[in-house]
Structure 1
Amino acid sequence: MRFLIIIPAHNEENNLPFTLNSLQQQSFKDFKVVIVNDGSTDSTSEVIRKYTDTDSRFEMVALQKSVHQPGSKVVNAFKKGLNTQTIDGFEIICKFDADIILPENYLETVEDSFKNNPKYGLVGGLLYVEKDGDWVYEGNSNKHHVRGPMKAYRKESFIQMGGIRETLGWDNIDSILLEKLGWKEVVLPELQVKLIKVKGADYTIRPADYYGRYFYFLGLNRFLAYIAASKEAIKIKSVSFFFSIIKSYEACRSGKLELKISKEEQKMINNQRWKMLKKKWLKI
């Protein structure tokens, strides 16, 4: 099975070499890497050329700089890169970040997983971050969810769900859609992926605004959005945080901001969230 790997990169001169080196060191060699240089103002383009000039598996796509907002920017860059390729010659489509270090057996293990399990639609490892000189599990999501920096999709499942959506919450929307289409999302915990920098540091919106927008663009109805907001507020023991999230969510609703999911998909997502809520909190 051949991999098509798309890596959006904006001002990643310090991190990108680690990612690209880890790809060159993979035990599985049958892949193509498209690095999308999204308007970088540092030496990212020079870094990329060091690989494209010496390894035919690497290619660069240059874009003008776009506004850096969570979700939409990175997916826009991913799609621009994907659109430059003919996917007929690939079986696995990956969206990787430009600041991760993959273990040498990452692609080999993912390929084996897809090959041996026809219903696997999305596969990935677990993210680890450096803390006090050690690499520890990031813990920002449950261990059954493949995080955004290291997504590997079976091409058929990717096409069937209509690709990833250019919106905040895209890396949860894909999981829900794939599940409803009968595909399995699988995390391989033995694959420990190192995340070099902390995500979200360069986003231009505050945490409460982020969550409000996230719940809206995920397609959550008001009841589920309020429940989700209360969970986030409880985590930091702040009532005001709850109301700030709700204010952001309601502002999106009032503005009727465009969702990147259909009405049917929105219904699907709410049903899945309600099912999870009943199972986890109501014990139904």
Structure 2
Amino acid sequence: MNGTPTIAPFVIITPAHNEEALIEQTLESMVAQTVRPLKWVVVSDNSTDRTAEIVRRYAAQHDFMQLLEIRRDGTRHFGNKVHAFNAGLAEVGALDYRYIGNLDADISLPSHYFESLLGELDSDPSLGLAGGMVATRIGDRFVSQNVAPDSVAGAVQLFRRACFEQIGGYLALPEGGIDSAAEIMARMKGWKVRTFAALQVLEHRRTGTASAPPVAAKVREGQRLQSLGYGLLFLCLRCIYRSMDPPRLIGSAATLLGYVQRRLSGAPVVLPAEVVSFLKTEQQHKLLNSLRGAHVRHQRPL
């Protein structure tokens, strides 16, 4: 094992399905961390490529890494990631950790990433969920996701253990959105959720496009947001705000189409009623605050 990096009281779990093309970049950035986890469990989730072979080679050289291989039928389901994550969670159950995180298998991190993020969590006991700002590769460049400050991209969510256990962990939702559901429930329980924009991480493949082209992924996004209970007005304004995100205009139109299709079909909202009620109240407050801010800007003299 190279060097003697500081071991911090956190664990990381990475569900990985057929990630041979990208996972080595994630492995290299984890090896380079100034602060490493007690344990990093990479779960090869029914992979049929060289994912497990690549991880096994790194794990043989670094004690903090562990490869876990699981098998299942080949059906693609949004709940598969949760089942893989929970299999990894069982592997760290005996460890005394303070923080637990999900890290996607197509992410590169700056070397100081966990050292900086743990410092933020340690300094604010009310901070329950934190992460960096994800910049996604689109074509030959990386484009920032520009998530809201009180939201954290699912690819890099790091929870305080008490927060994670209080919300009951990730839910295996049929339309996906496990990360969104987790942060909504964290805020509902009174925890702060925050993205630190100065901590930029790189996502080498756009979320949702591993098995679908970008427009189809946007349709699924709309379906997912409806399943979580997003309000129509908030969704429309969100689409307008993100209309310049690639694919420009078409992406937002596809998101709205997916939302409306699922809503008109009578498909149910999958989150508990109290969570949906909190979400809609939260969205109403954000809309009102945006309107007040626009009014103040309009009244300000030139």
Q: Shorter-chain TM-score category?
A: 0.7 to 0.9
1:250 and 2:258 are equivalent in the alignment: no
Instruction: Please report how far the alpha carbon of residue 155 of structure 1 lies from its aligned counterpart in structure 2 after TM superposition.
Output: 0.3
- For the aligned residue pairs, the C-alpha RMSD in angstroms reads 2.8
> Counterparts of 2:94 and 2:110 in 1: how far apart (Å)?
25
Equivalent of residue 160 in structure 1, options 148, 166, 171: 166
Change (3 A) 1:266 1:239: closer
Instruction: Please report how far the alpha carbon of residue 204 of structure 1 lies from its aligned counterpart in structure 2 after TM superposition.
Output: 4.9
Change (3 A) 1:89 1:244: closer
Match of 2:246 in 1: none
> Counterparts of 1:148 and 1:109 in 2: how far apart (Å)?
18
Deviations 1:187-235 (A, max 9, x none): 2222111111222223459346414421232123xxx136515753793
State whether residues 222 and 255 of structure 2, in contact with CA within 8 Å, keep that contact through their aligned partners in structure 1: no
Change (3 A) 1:29 1:200: closer
Q: Comparing 190-199 with 204-213, which one deviates more in the overlay?
A: 204-213
The 5 Å alignment of 1:53-92 reads 53-65=60-72, 66-69=74-77, 71-86=78-93, 88-92=95-99
Match of 2:229 in 1: 219
State whether residues 233 and 241 of structure 1, in contact with CA within 8 Å, keep that contact through their aligned partners in structure 2: no
Equivalent of residue 204 in structure 2, options 196, 199, 202: 196
Match of 1:263 in 2: 273
Match of 1:13 in 2: 20
> Counterparts of 1:239 and 1:33 in 2: how far apart (Å)?
39
Change (3 A) 1:248 1:24: same
Match of 2:177 in 1: 169
Deviations 1:244-277 (A, max 9, x none): 53122332x34x47x2x32222222222122222
> Counterparts of 1:203 and 1:165 in 2: how far apart (Å)?
21
Instruction: Please report how far the alpha carbon of residue 239 of structure 1 lies from its aligned counterpart in structure 2 after TM superposition.
Output: 7.3
Q: Comparing 235-244 with 123-132, which one deviates more in the overlay?
A: 235-244
Give the secondary structure class of the aligned counterpart of 2:170. Answer: coil
Gaps of at least 5 residues in structure 2 are 1-7, 244-248, 296-302
Instruction: Please report how far the alpha carbon of residue 179 of structure 1 lies from its aligned counterpart in structure 2 after TM superposition.
Output: 1.6
Normalization by structure 2: what TM-score? 0.80
> Counterparts of 2:222 and 2:273 in 1: how far apart (Å)?
20
Instruction: Please report how far the alpha carbon of residue 130 of structure 1 lies from its aligned counterpart in structure 2 after TM superposition.
Output: 4.4
Normalization by structure 1: what TM-score? 0.85
Gaps of at least 5 residues in structure 1 are none
